[in-house]
Amino acid sequence: MNVPKSENISRVQLQVTRAQREGALGQRGVTVWFTGLSASGKSTIATRVDQLLTERGRHCYVLDGDNIRFGLNRDLGFSPEDRNENIRRIGEVAKLFGDAGTISLSSFISPYKGDRDEVRALHEAANLKFVEVFVDCPLATAEERDPKGLYKKARAGEIKNFTGIDDPYEAPENPEIHLRTDQMSLEDEVALVIEYLLEHDIIREKYLTRESDKDQDASAAA
C-alpha cells in the first residue's frame, strides 16, 4: 500500500489548493474562450492548440458542441434564454476546469456580449485568467465556407435564429486576442494563442520541449 503510515492523518480537512494542482501539472489553469460566427474557424484553431500542447505534455480540454450540447446542455434549445443558460453553464464548467489547473479551450459562437462578459466576471471573481479570442472573418467569408450547409439552410428559412442571418453576433470590443481568419494562416493563428499563454506564464517554454525538438535544437546549434 502507498498510503503513508503517518501519525498526522486526522479529521482535519486539508484542501488541496489550486496552486498545488497547477504545480503537479506544471502549468496554470486558464479559460481560452473562442468566439465568432459559425464557420469562422474556432474549432479548427482550438483543436490545433489542444493538439500541440497535449503533445508537449500539457493538460488541456476542449469544450465544444460535441461534448456539451449532447450532454450537460441537452435540455437547452436556441431561444435567447436558453442561449444565455447554455453559455452560463459552459462558463461555470470552464471555471471548474481552470480551478483544476487545466487549460480549457471553449469553442462556441457565444454571440451575445453580455453572456461572455458574465463568464469573464465569473473568472475574475475566482482569480482565474480568462482569454477571449475573437475568431473574426466577414460574414460573406463564413457563408462561402459553409462546411455544414447551415448558412444555406438559414437563408432558405429552414433554420431560425441563426447567428449572422436572423440573430445578431455582438463582436468583442477588447478581446485578448483578435484573429482575422480570412487574412491569416492557421499556423499564425495558433502561434498567437500559444505565444499569449507563454507571455502570461500559463505555460513555460521549458515544458514545451520534446525529444524531436531537442534533436532540432541540437542540429540548429551544430
Least distance to its own copies, CB of residue 190, Å = 6
Q: How far is the CB of 156 from its own copies (least distance, A)?
A: 26
Residues 85-115 as b or e (16 or more Cβ within 10 Å = b): bbbeebbebbbebbbbbbbbbbbbbbbbeeb
Q: How far is CA 204 from the centre of its chain?
A: 18
Asked if 25 touches its own copies (CB under 8 A), the answer is: yes
One character per residue 162-201, x = contact with its own copies (rule: CB under 8 A) = ------------------------xx--xx--xx--x---
CB of 98 to its own copies, least distance (A): 11
Kindly state the number of chain residues that form the binding site for its own copies, as judged by CB under 8 A.
Answer: 57
Distance of CA 6 to the CA centre of its chain: 41
From the CB of 173, what's the least distance to its own copies, in Å? 26
- What's the burial of 116, exposed, middle or buried (CB within 10 Å: 0-12/13-18/19+)? buried
Compute the distance between CA of residue 92 and CA of residue 88 in angstroms, rounded to an integer: 6
205 sits near its own copies (criterion: CB under 8 A) = yes
- The catalytic site residues sit at 110
HSE-CB of 212 using CA atoms within 13 angstroms: 2
β-partners of residue 129 are 30
- The footprint of its own copies on residues 39-68 (CB under 8 A) is 43-44, 47-48, 50-52, 54-63, 67
Report the alpha-carbon angle 72-52-220, nearest 5.
170
Q: Name which of 144 and 213 has its Cβ closer to its own copies.
A: 213
Per CB under 8 A, residues contacting its own copies are 1-5, 9-11, 13-16, 20-21, 24-25, 43-44, 47-48, 50-52, 54-63, 67, 71-72, 89, 92-93, 95-97, 99-102, 122, 186-187, 190-191, 194-195, 198, 205, 208, 213
